[in-house]
Structure 1
Amino acid sequence: MIIVTGGAGFIGSNLIHQLNRAGERNILLVDNFAPAPNLTGPKFLNLAGAEYADYMDKREFRAALKAGDFENTRIRAILHQGACSNTLEDDGRYMMDNNFTYSKELLHFVLDRRIPLVYASTAAVYGASTNFTELPANERPLNVYGYSKLVFDNYVRRHLHDMKCTVVGLRYFNVYGPREQHKGRMASVIHHFTRQLKDTGAIRMFEGSGGYADGEQRRDFVFVKDLARINMFFAGLLPESPKKSIHAVVNAGTGEARTFKAVAQALMRVHGQGNIEYIPFPGDLKNRYQHYTQADISGLRAAGYTAPFTTLEDGVKQTFAEEPASS
């Protein structure tokens, strides 16, 4: 069995679809379908056409782990995507339980049973830093979401030398692709720009901020299918997966920052031309916003992952070729 937590979410659902394409069906999907104010649609729509063996609510799953219900279950890997990913969530107690304590419970479960664990971390751990190498000096989160992920990364780091199984943390940069329509404000700019372009014929982006000119803020945009492949690679689920255990916390981005203007141009090549309008920078994002991100992927390469990344232009084409309704 393969366990995917957060399996109905944006990245988790894409991961399950990619596992299916690789012939995997014996999957336990774990998620939380309770209503959430930051979501704009039901997550279950992401699972249309997906095949999996069983479903558990997140709370039921955590209780089952604690009760030892999986003692006699052969688990090939756990792909831990489940988290509160709302960067504007200020309830630190809720965030730490979801993103730290839950992850810690899984870590000790896999260490005891030597099960590969690949988990989702985030580039939000770097905050306002302009250096994105996986070093403590660069890790300065701007919100409790990034902080909660960094605390778990550091917990993993303290146990790296004691590990007898693969444990890999992937610091996701700016992820985009199909199946993110439910994420509301937390969806990628690819999703928001597409909606604006289709509804109004114009794309709105921030005026100059953080030392960047209008629309020249830069992000490392990574295609969700690439992240699914990286998860599967380190979990030992691909023919080319490492034959030995890997222990690392590494960046998962393309290593190339692109401007918001470049995103708009890529979308217009798919959806048709439109205007670009610049809007004032929102006050509620002050001191919470990363004006520039670019993954240093030398750690990822050193850990053994050498496949190329999908370009922004190709990823945008694939997003809307596969699932035009995702816009």
Structure 2
Amino acid sequence: MKVLVTGAAGFIGSHLCQRLLADGHEVVGVDMFLFKEWEHFKQYHIQDFIQHPNFKLVNGNLLELDLQELLEGIEVIFHQAAIAGVRNSWGTNFRQYVELNILMTQRLLEACKDLPLKKFVYASTSSIYGITDGRTSEDKPALPISPYGTSKLAGEHLVRMYHLGFGLPATSLRYFTVYGPRQRPDMAFHKFLKVVLKDEPISLFGDGQQTRDFTYVSDAVEANILAMNHTEHGNAFNIGGAERSSVNQVLTLMEAVTGKKIKIDYQPRQPGDPLHTWADISLARQKLGYNPKITLLEGIQNEWDYIKKMYHYLEALY
């Protein structure tokens, strides 16, 4: 099949492109390389498949690209492109979240509404739920506590409306704290392991007792593949990981993996960060056959290996 992946040089998007190419699909990847200071990371992400004969990279903004031309022959769309980050979404920064998470999604949906697509898979987030208590199922009211969560919920509502109004064969995946190789430089595990590599202290917001349902990136990619092949539409699924843990427990595992004692610089909790997330993935298990496999220890080891290799490469290059 001919597949479009937006955010193709990003964290999950690059892994998804690689998996789709390995499965024999023709992949068109779009990325706007928004943050110039991160561009060398993205170039590193795609170096393993940029020359693949079935891959085409389009560098551009979905708000400006000719979508009719871009979508020519496309059968499946994975809409991963977004501006992420809870802490940066407050204040005047929110304008960018509106443009890239809401307006960009609506423009893409409008261009897709009359196409004979097999599937439109939207990357949503656990941040739509806000404050939770215990396992969170998909029927919990969505009450985000950050502008980022609000923007992604708006995108999810748009997807649902285009399904109801135009029959768009869409599925939304609500990711819970995805980690692994190719994480953005502003994401916690990447930041933690980078400073451990440099023997610097970790800046930790809060006391470390906050818990997350950590989802390894290959499990998140598998969820996308399962959603692509799922014949029901207009639904949303929680995508959580094989293990739930506190941040303090994660740091203990990082010490075991890196062989280094971690120094912590405690900072105040930040607005918009929930204390706990816990995905009820029973619906995804039942409907998609989703079964996360990668343990935290294995996942952190993989990310540590990636961090060491990547920064060694970038230091030699720059």
* TM-score range relative to shorter protein: 0.7 to 0.9
Please show how residues 1-327 of structure 1 align to structure 2 within 5 Å: 1-24=2-25, 26-36=26-36, 39=38, 41-50=40-49, 51=52, 52-59=54-61, 62-65=64-67, 68-69=68-69, 73-87=72-86, 88-89=88-89, 90=91, 91-115=93-117, 116-130=119-133, 132-135=136-139, 137=141, 139-161=142-164, 164=167, 166-180=169-183, 183-184=184-185, 186-187=186-187, 189-200=188-199, 203=202, 205-208=204-207, 215-236=208-229, 242=230, 244-254=231-241, 256-277=243-264, 279-281=266-268, 285=270, 287-321=271-305, 324-326=308-310
**How has the CA–CA distance of structure 1 residues 318 and 32 changed in structure 2, closer, same or farther, with 3 Å as cutoff?**
same
CA distance in 1, matches of 2:283, 2:111: 26
CA–CA separation in structure 1 for the residues paired with 2:62 and 2:200: 46
Match of 1:212 in 2: none
Q: Which moved more, 1:93-102 or 1:215-224?
A: 93-102
Q: Could you tell me how far 1:273 is from its partner in structure 2?
A: 3.6
- Partner of 2:66, secondary structure, is helix
The alpha carbon displacement at 1:234 in A equals 1.3
- Unaligned 5+ segments in structure 2 are 312-318
Alpha carbons 1:190, 1:263 under 8 Å: kept? no
Counterpart contact for 1:78–1:117, Cα < 8 Å: yes
Hey, what's the Cα distance between the residues in 1 that align with 2:211 and 2:27? Answer: 37
How many percent of aligned residue pairs carry the same amino acid? 26
- The answer as to whether partners of 2:242 and 2:292 remain within 8 angstroms in 1 is no
Q: Per the alignment, in what secondary structure is the counterpart of residue 288 of structure 2?
A: coil
Displacement after TM superposition at 1:109 (Å): 3.3
- Give the Å deviation of 1:191: 1.7
Q: What is the rounded CA distance, in whole Å, between the counterparts of 1:190 and 1:142 in structure 2?
A: 22
Task: Return the offset for 1:295.
Answer: 1.1
Classify 1:318/1:119 alpha carbon distance in 2 versus 1 (closer, same or farther; 3 Å): same
Runs of 4+ residues over 6 Å off in structure 1 = none
Which range moved further: 8-17 or 157-166? 157-166
Could you tell me the TM-score, scaled by structure 1's length? 0.81
Where in structure 1 are there 5+ consecutive unaligned residues?
209-214, 237-241
Aligned-pair CA distance for 1:275: 3.8
